[in-house]
Structure 1
């Protein structure tokens, strides 16, 4: 190292290959010790950070949801639209009593789970406050395709008062807003159980190991035969949870199928264009890349 510095400061040029050939074995002892210490400290810091992250992320009584084999989880898999239709029925008959979906309109169901005539009939079942009319008065009318899903409560304060102080979250993007996505929602819906020994749950709360804090204010919303599907599918607890999770996935990501179709088209187009571009590059630059340039020293 000293000889290298002497050569550099003496004005002599050092070949680049000599710098590239320098290895850890040729370094002085003190530099070896410094680099080794730096590597150990860095690795220890990364390991400690990962351990602290895991300790904060999970507690002894909180379970992480397992990964379920969803039919739409594959890179080329689409959503089960029959399950979306059943999931909407679950939301309408079970979930809509407490949870809103402020960002979903009736028109969004057309062509996805229902026909236009069916959605119009569903929307007309809802009384919507509209106005003012010519006399300045508000009036009610049947719902239309452009109307959004009705809210169960007029404001958050009324929602808290009806649920012992707990505010039911909006379900429009709940799948994207929770770690684990539909795996978490499915595990939460089917994970109600009795608290373990030594754990007490305050009155009005329910024990659920998948919920942060394990105490949730929502009573078990689904059970076997909680409703009767229009298509005759057996309404078991797991089937109901699967259908409503599929519906919530579509609600949070309505472009799911279109995005995958566009990705497939892009891959097919790339499979054709990339070889052509590579061939043109080789053909265009083959002459320039194969030239040999020789410099003649001046006489």
Structure 2
């Protein structure tokens, strides 16, 4: 419920931008988690985390996701030891200490993914006035969010002739109004995947979009399993009710 409310807040902030102009429709993608029996691809989620860590985390936080969630059932499949090591590569602010001062320390599995900036003003100052959104729930901020994220990350092109591109903005076929402050974040071979997968822009965009779908809906697989059980229960219950009805009304027929 809390994630649903937070996703609605993200949509509310995005609403003014959605009215900025017509854009191309993001093409539908094939996702392992689509459909009633779909599940997350663990290797894909781990690659997506690597893209987030090495590219996106420089500007974007995930303040609603804890490092320990990476080892949760239905998640990327990291072990507890791996999560501890991954968390230690981030710094978080803690305190106050005995002297009353805040201090930096290596993150622990129980910590949330930190923001790379001290506050919103610092974030805007480092990004030409634009504020990098938190990515925890971004995949649920739009209908078919993963499709949109994949399209956005691969939609950077030269502005068409006659298009008035604002200063410091970049043309993107899928961003509302076609002008976005974020420079193209992905370039070929920008990361070296641990599993040897070729790091094309398409591959990295697909992987990180899937990972962000998981951060937005980490209980997706559990929800689908529960839904399947409920459907079986309802089918069996309907059969029992039908048999009871036949038995009860048999004498009247």
TM-score normalised according to structure 1 size = 0.74
- Aligned twin of 1:248: 212
User: CA-atom RMSD, angstroms?
Assistant: 1.8
SS of 2:104's partner is: strand
Q: Does 1:270 align with 2:238?
A: no
Corresponding residue of 2:84: 120
Cα offsets for 1:201-243 (capped at 9, x unmatched): 1231100121111110001101211110111111111110110
Q: Where do residues 65-214 of structure 1 align in structure 2 (5 Å cutoff)?
A: 65-111=26-72, 112-113=75-76, 114-214=78-178
Equivalent in 40, 58, 62 of residue 23 of structure 2? 62
Indicate how the Cα distance of structure 1 residues 174 and 280 shifts in structure 2: closer, same or farther if over 3 A, else same. Answer: same
1:226-274 deviation line (CA, Å, top 9, x unaligned) = 1101111111111101100100000000010001111112222333332
In structure 1, the residue corresponding to 2:62 is in which secondary structure?
coil
Q: Unmatched 5+ residue regions in structure 1?
A: 1-55, 291-299
Match of 2:4 in 1: none
How many residue pairs get aligned? The number is: 233
Equivalent position SS for 2:92:
strand
SS at match of 1:141: strand
Note closer, same or farther for the CA distance 1:57–1:169 as it changes in structure 2 (3 Å cut): closer
**Larger RCO: 1 or 2 (CA < 8 Å, sep 6+):** 2
Name which one, 1 or 2, has greater alpha-carbon Rg.
Answer: 1
Question: Structure 1 pair 86/264, CA: closer, same or farther in 2 (3 Å)?
Answer: same
Which segments of structure 1 move beyond 6 Å, counting only runs of 4 or more? none
